[in-house]
C-alpha cells in the first residue's frame, strides 16, 4: 500500500538517488526526472512530497552530459545514508566501453547501496557498469538493441531480454534495467505506480505530451515505419537484430518466422529490393560502422559481434560497401572515442 498521507508532514512513497555517468544522455535523464516531478506533488507545484530525489556524484561539482550540458551534483557518498533511499538510478554514458571502464571508481558505491537493500536501476549503458561490478550476475537485463551484441560479447553469462524496454528482476525487483531514450519515462511510470499507485504515477502525462504508458514489451512502431515491413519481414528483421552475432542461416530464420526461405526472399525483394540474406548482411555492416564510430574496441571484437568470424573478409565487404577499410573509416571519422 502507498505510504503517503495528505498532511504537511507527508512521508515520501519513493526515495531515489540519481547518479548520471559522465557523457550521459539528456533524453532519458530529463524524461525520467520530469515524470518524477509531476508525480511528486499535487497540482503542478513541483515540490518533492510523494517522491524525493537527489543527484549523486563521486564528488562535489557537476557532471557533463553528452550534449555538453552540466548537471550539478547535490550530494556525495560521504554525505548520504543509504538506508534513507529506496532506489539508486544510474544513467550510463554515451560510450558503453567507457562506462564499463568506470567500474573500479563506482564499485564501492554500488555495492554499499545494494548491501543496504537499495534497489539498483541501470538506464541506457549503465548495465555495462553494473555488470562489470558483478551486480547483475544471475539477473536478466534489458538494454538498447544497438548494444545487445556488444553486451552479449562482454558478458556472455548474463541473460539479455530482447525486445523489452525495461525489466524488473529479482524476488523484490532489486535489479531494474532500461534501454534508455523515451523508455525511461515508461520505466519511471512503472516504478511510481508500484510505490504511489497507478493514478498518481500517470499524473502529468498530458502535460508531457505523452499519449500513454507503454508496457515493458511494447513493440516500437518506428521499426516498422523505418523498414516499411509486413508482418513476416518485420518479425524477420527483429530476429536479425537480436541474432546479429549468431551463426544462423536464412533457412533457419525463415523457419523461425514460419514461412519458407523462398517466401521470405520474395517478401524482402518486394519490400526492400534485396534478398533476406543481403538485408541481414547490410544490418551487420551498419552495426560495424556504428560501433567503429562509438567504441574503441578492436575490429576483431566488432567483427565477432556482427557474426563475421574472418576479419579480412569483413575488411573486404566493408570496403566494398563504404569505400574504405574499417581502420581507415575509424581513423578519418570525427568524434572517435579515445583508446581506454
Quickly count helices (H) and strands (E) in the chain.
15, 10
Identical topology for domains 14-202 and 221-332: no
CA angle (308, 311, 312) in 5-degree steps: 120
Domain residue ranges in the chain: 14-202, 221-332
Angstrom distance (rounded) from CA 330 to CA 324: 10
Residue 172 grid cell: 523484490
Question: CB neighbours (10 Å) of residue 71?
Answer: 19
Q: What is the dihedral of CA 64, 66, 69, 72, to 10 degrees?
A: -30
Distances (CA, A) of 238 to 140, 179, 235, 290: 19, 16, 5, 18
pLDDT tens for each residue of the chain, 340 residues long: 344 334 445 679 999 999 999 999 999 999 999 999 999 999 888 899 999 999 999 999 999 999 999 999 999 999 999 999 999 999 999 999 999 999 999 999 999 999 999 999 999 999 999 999 999 999 999 999 888 888 988 999 999 998 899 999 988 889 999 999 999 999 999 999 999 999 999 999 999 989 888 888 877 665 554 455 677 888 898 888 888 888 889 999 999 999 999 999 999 999 999 999 999 999 999 999 988 988 888 999 899 888 898 999 999 999 999 999 999 999 887 654 443 3
Q: How many CB atoms neighbour CB 205 within 10 A?
A: 16
**CB contact burial 227-253 (16+ within 10 A = b; e otherwise):** bebeebbbbbbbbbbbbbbeebebeeb
CATH 3.40.50.880 fits 14-202, yes or no: yes
For the domain spanning 221-332, the CATH number is 1.10.10.60
pTM above 0.75, yes or no: yes
Q: Tell me the chain's radius of gyration from C-alpha atoms.
A: 22
Amino acid at each position: 500500500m502507498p505510504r503517503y498521507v495528505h498532511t504537511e508532514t507527508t512521508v515520501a512513497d519513493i526515495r531515489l538517488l540519481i547518479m548520471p555517468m559522465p557523457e550521459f544522455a539528456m533524453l532519458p535523464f530529463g524524461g525520467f526526472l520530469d515524470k518524477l516531478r509531476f508525480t511528486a506533488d499535487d497540482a503542478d507545484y513541483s515540490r518533492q512530497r510523494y517522491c524525493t530525489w537527489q543527484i549523486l556524484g563521486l564528488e562535489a561539482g557537476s557532471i557533463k552530459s553528452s550534449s555538453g550540458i552540466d548537471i550539478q551534483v547535490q550530494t556525495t557518498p560521504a554525505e548520504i545514508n543509504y538506508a534513507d533511499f529506496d532506489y539508486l538510478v544510474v544513467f550510463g554514458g554515451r560510450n558503453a566501453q567507457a562506462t564499463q571502464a568506470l567500474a573500479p571508481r563506482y564499485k564501492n558505491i554500488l555495492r554499499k547501496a545494494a548491501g543496504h537493500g537499495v534497489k539498483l536501476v541501470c538506464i541506457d549503458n549503465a548495465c555495462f557498469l553494473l555488470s562489470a561490478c558483478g551486480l547483475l550476475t544471475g539477473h536478466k537485463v534489458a538494454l538498447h538493441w544497438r548494444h545487445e551484441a556488444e553486451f552479449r560479447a562482454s558478458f556472455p553469462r548474463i541473460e539479455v531480454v530482447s525486445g523489452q524496454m525495461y525489466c524488473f528482476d529479482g524476488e523484490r525487483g532489486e535489479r531494474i534495467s532500461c534501454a534508455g531514450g523515451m523508455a525511461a519515462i515508461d520505466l519511471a511510470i512503472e516504478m511510481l505506480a508500484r510505490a504511489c499507485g497507478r493514478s498518481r504515477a500517470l499524473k502529468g502525462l498530458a502535460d508531457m505530451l505523452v499519449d500513454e504508458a507503454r508496457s515493458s514489451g511494447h513493440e516500437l512502431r518506428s521499426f516498422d515505419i523505418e523498414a516499411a515491413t509486413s508482418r513476416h519481414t518485420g518479425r524477420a528483421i527483429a530476429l536479425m537484430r537480436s541474432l546479429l552475432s549468431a551463426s544462423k542461416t536464412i533457412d533457419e530464420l525463415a523457419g523461425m518466422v514460419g514461412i519458407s526461405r523462398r517466401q521470405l526472399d520474395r517478401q524482402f525483394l518486394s519490400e526492400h529490393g534485396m534478398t533476406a540474406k543481403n538485408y541481414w548482411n547490410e544490418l551487420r555492416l551498419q552495426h560495424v560502422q556504428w560501433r567503429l564510430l562509438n567504441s574503441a574496441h578492436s575490429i576483431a571484437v566488432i567483427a565477432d559481434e556482427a557474426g563475421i568470424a574472418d576479419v579480412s573478409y569483413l575488411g573486404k565487404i566493408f570496403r566494398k560497401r563504404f569505400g574504405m577499410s574499417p581502420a581507415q573509416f575509424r581513423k578519418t571519422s570525427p568524434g572517435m572515442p579515445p583508446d581506454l
